[in-house]
Amino acid sequence: MAEFSWEVRSPLDRALVAGPYGVRGDAGVSLTEIRNFDLVQVMARRGMAGDMAKAAKARLGVAAPDAPKAVQSSDATLIWSGPDQFFVLSRGGKHTTETLAQTFASFASLSDQSHARVLISISGAKARTMLAKLSSIDLHPDAFAIGAAAATSMDHTSVTLWRGGDKSDGQAVFNVLVFATFAVSLWHTVLDSAAEYGVAIGHSEELA
Amino acid sequence: MRITCPFCGERELSEFSYLGDAKPVRPAADAGEEAVYDYVYLRDNVAGVMAENWYHGGGCRAWLEVTRNTLTHEISAVEPAAGAGARQVAK
Q: Closest partner residue to B14 among A68, A82, A153, by Cβ?
A: A153
Please tell me the distance from the alpha carbon of residue A54 to that of residue A37, in angstroms, as a whole number. 25
Within 8 A of A83 by CB-CB distance, chain B residues are 7, 60, 62, 80, 84-88
> Could you read off the pLDDT of B28-61 as tens digits, one per residue?
999 999 999 999 999 999 999 999 999 999 999 9
pLDDT confidence band for A4 (50 / 70 / 90) = confident
Q: Is A66 helix (H, G, I), strand (E, B) or coil?
A: coil
Residue B87 has pLDDT above 60, yes or no: no
Inter-chain contact B59–A153, Cβ cutoff 8 Å? Answer: yes
CA distance B53 to chain A (A): 17
Residues in chain A closer than 8 A to B14 (CB atoms): 153, 156
Residues of chain B contacting A81 with CB distance shorter than 8 Å: 60
Nearby residues of A57 by Cβ (< 8 Å), 6 or more positions away: A63, A64
Q: Which residues on neighbouring strands pair with residue B53, listed in sequence order? A: B20, B65
B interface test, pick of A41, A80, A153, A160 with most B CB neighbours within 10 Å? A153
Interface of B with A in 57-86 (CB under 8 A): 57-62, 80, 84-86
Average pLDDT over residues A83-92: 95
Residue A97 CB partners (closer than 8 Å, separation 6+): A40, A110, A111, A112
In percent, the amount of chain A with pLDDT more than 90 equals: 91
Cβ <8 Å between B62 and A83: yes
At residue A11, the pLDDT reads 95
Chain-chain contact of B86 with A84 (C-beta, under 8 angstroms): yes
Selecting from 3.30.300.20, 3.30.1360.120, 1.10.8.100, 3.90.1200.10, what CATH number does the domain A19-35+115-204 have? 3.30.1360.120
Chain B residue with Cα closest to A83: B85
Residues contacting A50, CB < 8 A, separation 6+? none
Strand (E) positions, chain A? Answer: 19-21, 29-34, 38-44, 70-72, 77-82, 85-90, 108-112, 117-123, 149-154, 157-163, 173-179, 199-204
Chains A, B: CB pairs < 8 Å: 60
Q: Report the topology of domain A38-112.
A: Alpha-Beta Plaits (3.30.70)
- Which chain B residue shows the shortest CA-CA distance from A65? B7
Strand A199-204 with A29-34, pairing:
parallel
Can you give the pLDDT at residue A208?
Answer: 64
Residues of A in contact with B60 (CB under 8 A): 81-83, 151
Helix (H), strand (E) at residue A188: helix A183-194
Name A39's Cβ contacts closer than 8 Å, sequence gap at least 6. Answer: A87, A88, A89, A112, A113, A114, A116, A117, A119, A177
Do the domains A19-35+115-204 and A38-112 sit in the same CATH topology, yes or no? no
How far is the alpha carbon of A97 from chain B, nearest alpha carbon, in Å?
A: 21
In A40-63, which positions are buried (b, 16+ CB within 10 angstroms) versus exposed (e)? bbbbbeeebbeebbebbeebbeee
Q: What is the pLDDT of residues A166-200, one digit of tens each?
A: 999 999 999 999 999 999 999 999 999 999 999 99
State mean pLDDT over B60-69: 95
Using an 8 Å Cβ cutoff, are A73 and A87 in contact?
A: no
Residue-averaged pLDDT of chain B: 90
Interface confidence (ipTM) of the complex: 0.88
| CB contact (8 A) between residue B85 and residue A46 | no
For residue A82, the chain B residues in CB contact (below 8 A) are 7, 60-62, 85
| Closest residue in chain B to residue A50, using alpha carbons only | B87
Give the domain ranges of chain A.
19-35+115-204, 38-112
Domain spanning B2-90 has what CATH number?
Answer: 3.30.2270.10
Report the mean per-residue pLDDT for chain A. 95
